[in-house]
Amino acid sequence: MLDLNEIEILQVALSHERRAREFYDRMAVRYGDSTAGDLFRYLSGEEDGHIRKLAARYRYPAFEAALQEKHLPYLIDLDRMAREDGVDAGVDTGPEAVRRGLGIARKAEQHAVEFYSLAGGVVDDHTTKTLLAELEEEERHHLARIEGHLANLPPEPR
């Protein structure tokens, strides 16, 4: 169960979407015109759309989420994960580097699906429930695209 009110849920959602967009932007630049770069650009654009939906529908400015994020739980630290997995080291640009970057993207999307599912069970407002359900479904779609791309990568070396 989430120990957040509706405004805090929206703050966490905005913060998560912003963090994911920033990570995907960096990965898109890193992988350039490759299919992985295209996927990361797509994911970044989708997260940008989620930010606009959350901010516009509720007139909750995105900058306010950034001011509050250090105080809120339920956020995933994509930058820390990237450092730990060596994604930002920039040493390897082959399939293994793509696999690691997409692995972090998969974790981010799984986290978002779980968060939106839990959050939808906490809020009472029908409009907010609907938005959270829409975002959960879109995140599931992103997860499927990531999984599809991962499935098409060459097998991991043994």
pLDDT confidence tier of residue 14, bands split at 50, 70 and 90 = confident
Q: What is the reported pTM? A: 0.77
Half-sphere exposure of 78 (CA within 13 A, CB side): 26
For the chain, the helix, strand and coil percentages under 3-state DSSP, each to the nearest 5: 80, 0, 20
pLDDT one-digit tens code per residue, 54-99: 887 666 655 555 545 544 556 677 777 777 777 765 556 678 888 8
List the one residue out of 33, 32, 53 whose CA is nearest residue 18: 53
> What are the CA-CA distances from residue 127 to residues 120, 137, 138 (Å)?
10, 15, 17
Instruction: Please report the domains of the chain, with CATH numbers, ordered by start residue.
Output: 6-151 (1.20.1260.10)
pLDDT one-digit tens code per residue, 26-53: 999 999 999 999 999 999 999 999 988 8
pLDDT confidence tier of residue 16, bands split at 50, 70 and 90 = confident
Task: Give pLDDT, residue 70.
Answer: 45
8-state DSSP, 71: G
